[in-house]
Structure 1
Amino acid sequence: MWAAIAAVLFVGSAVAAPRETRIPEAAIAAAGELRESALASDLGYRITESLTTEVGPRLAGSEADARAVKWAEAKFRELGFDKVWLEPVTFPKWERRSEQAEVLGEHRQPLNLTALGGSPAGKVEGEIVRFADLAALEAAPAGSLKGKIAFIDYRMERAKDGAGYGPGGRVRSRGPSAAIRAGASAYLMRSAGTDSHRNPHTGITRFDDGLTPIPSAALAAPDADQLARLTARGPVRVRVALDCGWDGEATSHNVIGEIRGKSKPEEVVVIGGHLDSWDLGTGAIDDGAGVGLTMAAGKLIGQSKLRPARSIRVIAFANEEQGLYGGKAYALKHDAQVKQHQIGAESDFGAGRIYAYSSSAPAHAQAADKQIAEALAPLGIEHTPGKGGPGPDISPFAARGLAWARLAQDGSDYFDYHHTPDDTLDKIDPKALAQNVAAYAVFAYLAASADGDFGSEAKQVTPPEE
């Protein structure tokens, strides 16, 4: 009897276990040809040049954002994608109009700064109180900064994988609320960046519920240094004048292009970048490059001799910068089709060479994951299982069960330019961008050609942070 029960249990477990996912040898060979053709192509650079030249900066909800949507739709069609469509994304609209600051009194001089996204308008004059880091400001007693301006002088650290952005970004996102709790009338911070140029770094901030927002801005690194030296000499008064703020709602769009799969067209591999940018530069590395290289990867897959079984879906996401609105909207709209999404990856970390690959592939897809890694290895890409997480706009869908992949770019100098006037096309190395195109083309093609899945299923998970 026990043997019979054991046999039934064995059969049941065998039926329930997913079969191993593998990639056919013909697809591996085709991916090798695709890789070489992508390396020899400048298509990704030409697409990025088109976006940053013809549209320029693309602040979410602006007139330029609307032009970027039209540009993306037209570009997908020009590239020959089989299907192109728009999905609306609505969000609060923030505008920047003018900004300036100056040191008052004996050492009167201008300061180079930029309003943080989400800051209200206001003209404030007050004494500067310097804090070395976020923790020091958060420890300030309530009301201790009444009538004063809080200044966090935290210096972000440079790292290949961008690890320094976590602490630097928290100064931007949590600092203003900490300043309000301490009674400050305005908030200044050393920019979350790694450069030493007079280019302040913008970026979105948040105000905790129940707090009245205060003017909040980021200083260029040399200006933060100057202010720190002045405060070391004695009391310093500064005047800050920001004209910016929220102005109703806007609707933009996720712009989507699809290369149809040969035998399983309703199943898709998603790649993409975000179409919006901040308004100081032309949004080349953040994230024109991501849009350009994934469009190019899709185009090259579409013209390959052996079409993959599944469709390649390239998404130019709306309004990532102010709260992942495009990624959230896509996840919500396609929530019922999680399982039809084979895997997803987003390029949103500049245009540096990709040096590592990893994914969320479960045990039954590890063999296929290794096959992808082996096909990427000639590009100088290391397999790093268990490292990293999904890209920003992919993360809302990954939290609903989407399988994800990470193609890690070298971001050693990314935060020299991130969210600054210096985010322009000349910062992109065309050869490095071609390597990115090759990597995304190989990854997407092989994932779409796999015999089996990568573990996407409807479930609530907490994906690791990129």
Structure 2
Amino acid sequence: MRISALFAAAAVLVLAAPAVAQDLAAGAAQARDRALADPTAWAIAESLTTEVGPRMTGSPAMELGRDWAVAKFRELGFTNVRVESFTTPAWFRGPESAEVVGPVPQKLHILGLGNSASTPKGGLTAEIALFTSWQAFLDQPEGSLKGKIAVVTQRMPKNQDGSGYGFVNAQRTLGPREAAKRGAVGYLVRSLSTDDTRLPHTGNAQAAGIPAAALSTPDAELLERLVARGKPVRVKLDMQSTSNPKAKAYNIVGEIRGTERPDEVIVIGGHLDSWDPGTGAVDDAAGIAITTAAAKLVGAMGAPKRTLRVVMWGSEEQGGSSGAYLAANRAEVPKMVVAGESDSGAGRVFAVALPAGSRAHPAMKAFEAALVPLNVVVSREPPRFGGADIAGITSAGAPFVDFSQDMSRYFDLHHAADDTLDKIDPAELSQNVAVWASFLYTVANSDIDFRAFPKEAK
């Protein structure tokens, strides 16, 4: 009888497996289709950019953003809503101006880089030393730029996957420090952007004790043309800023609790903070909207078996939120089923990368099937990087995914005054929600264990 019972149980499991896979596939497709017609993501992005606006870490606007996040989670039916407070260094922009004073007076459009030092009162004027490539600048020996303003104008390539940003990122983040090592009294860098407007793009840089700013792309080219004429070019910078080494910051959390395995948590989200020139729409109200709307939609389909946790990280641009989130939640990392972050704007998802070895699991097969009408492919390679704000928990062992979006226009906008709500396409935003909702449904309602697969598998 025992042997017969075992055979009977095994037969039930064999028959149940296809049924479970079919249920997951049907649910994923339903989540996808609902998302494509759901206005929640657009409403969230509209609300955040309109009612709060730009959200610098440590600013009064970020306090307003914190309160907005708590209220929005509660309005949408999330539970266990909480604020995880921490402190982090924060930099604040003051009055800024730049101009060519010789050989021909010309106004320049700049934005100070995060951690820039102030100029002396009344500004500083110096001859520029211009380099059209980052490597040419690095080739200069220490002390060789004494008394000059270093300028680097290497262009950023435009790519669908945004990889051009990584190619030139050091020009902004490390440029001021390298300029100071060579004796420069200031640093200007062509904006890390792919636009042709006179709107410069800011961003963070390592503190170096000298004023540092991003030039609009036309102004970077203007300086190139002036230098090419063979006469010394002198520029006046007048920049003021302040900083707070222990600014208050917040990660805001909302959950849709699982019914069967609530301690198994799927962590997703975007960053709530932004730079100050625009209203932080594509960077990253879009990510907040996508992940929050996707989780709400899956919860509305019936309580998931696992817990969906959405995090609005509070200091990605100037750093600190990733480490703070890990410190507050380290004990939960072994129970984090998977993590994912949306921080690439609102362009359509064109590819997804799943943890190594997981593609053959019925849950991921169901997810992959749901992607076909969305024109999204599943990569054969596992993800290399999931995002800055989940870096802490992924380094501690949490599995992660990466959804690649079309970033062809993203770097025309991010960190600039043009990062506003009108740049978000509602249909593209909904396509993102459809991908996320399909993924969340299959993971939250299955037994997939991303840690169980061989690391070397593809």
After TM superposition, the score normalised by the length of structure 2 is 0.91
Contact 2:28–2:367 under 8 Å retained in 1: no
Residue 81 (structure 1) shift:
1.0
Equivalent residue letter for 1:200: P
Q: 1:439 to 1:46 in 2, by over 3 A?
A: same
CA shift in 2, pair 1:384/1:229, >3 Å: same
Take 1:273 and 1:340, find their aligned partners in 2: how far apart are those partners? 21
Tell me which residue corresponds to 1:428.
424
* Kept after mapping to 2: 8 A contact 1:23/1:446: no
Partner of 1:271: 268
Tell me how far apart the structure 1 counterparts of residues 448 and 423 of structure 2 sit (CA, whole Å). 40
Equivalent-residue separation in structure 1 for 2:407 and 2:292 (angstroms) = 21
Other-structure match for 1:193: 193
SS in 2 for 1:269: strand
Question: Which range moves more in the overlay, 386-395 or 213-222?
Answer: 386-395
1:29 paired to 2:38: no
The alpha-carbon distance between structure 1 residues 25 and 367, as it changes in their structure 2 partners (threshold 3 A), is closer
By how many angstroms is 1:365 displaced? 6.6
Q: Secondary structure at the match of 2:323?
A: helix
Instruction: State the partner residue of 2:256.
Output: 259
Report the residue type matching 1:445 in the other structure: Y
For the residue of structure 2 that corresponds to 1:392, the secondary structure is coil
Q: 1:403 aligns with which of 399, 424, 432?
A: 399
CA RMSD of aligned residues (A): 1.9
Letter in structure 2 aligned against 1:74? A
Match of 2:304 among 288, 301, 308: 308
1:132/1:154 contact within 8 Å kept = yes
1:35-434 → structure 2 map (5 Å cutoff): 35-122=32-119, 123-207=123-207, 212-233=208-229, 234-304=231-301, 306-323=302-319, 325-362=320-357, 366-386=361-381, 388=383, 389-434=385-430
Aligned-partner residue type, residue 95 of structure 1: F
Measured after TM superposition, the shift of residue 295 of structure 1 is: 1.1
| CA-to-aligned-CA distance 1:5-44 (integer Å, 9 cap, x gap) | xxxxxxxxxxxxxxx9x96432321221111111011110
Q: CA offset at residue 369 of structure 1?
A: 3.0
1: CA distance, partners of 2:342 / 2:80: 21
Structure 2 residue matching 1:334: 3-state secondary structure: helix
Q: Which SS does the other structure have where 2:174 is aligned?
A: helix
Change (3 A) 1:351 1:90: same
Give 2:202's aligned amino acid: T
- Conserved 8 A contact 1:94-1:244: yes
Tell me the TM-score normalised to structure 1 length: 0.90
1:390-417 Cα shifts (integer Å, max 9, x gaps): 1221122111111001111100010000
Deviations 1:270-328 (A, max 9, x none): 11000000000000000001001111111111110x432101101100110012x2122
- Is the CA contact (8 Å cut-off) linking 2:364 and 2:442 kept in structure 1? no
**CA contact 1:133–1:171 (8 Å) conserved in 2:** no
Shift of residue 370, structure 1, vs aligned partner: 3.5
In the aligned structure 1, how far is the partner of 2:264 from the partner of 2:360?
A: 17
Identity of aligned residues (%): 45
Cross-structure match for 2:4: none
Structure 1 residue identity aligned to 2:368: A
Distance in 1 (CA, whole Å) between partners of 2:20 and 2:227 is 62
- Judged with a 3 Å threshold, the aligned counterparts in structure 2 of structure 1 residues 335 and 365 are, in CA distance, closer, same or farther, namely farther
- Unmatched tracts of structure 1, length 5 or more: 1-19, 462-466
Q: What is the distance in 1 between the residues matched to 2:308 and 2:158?
A: 35
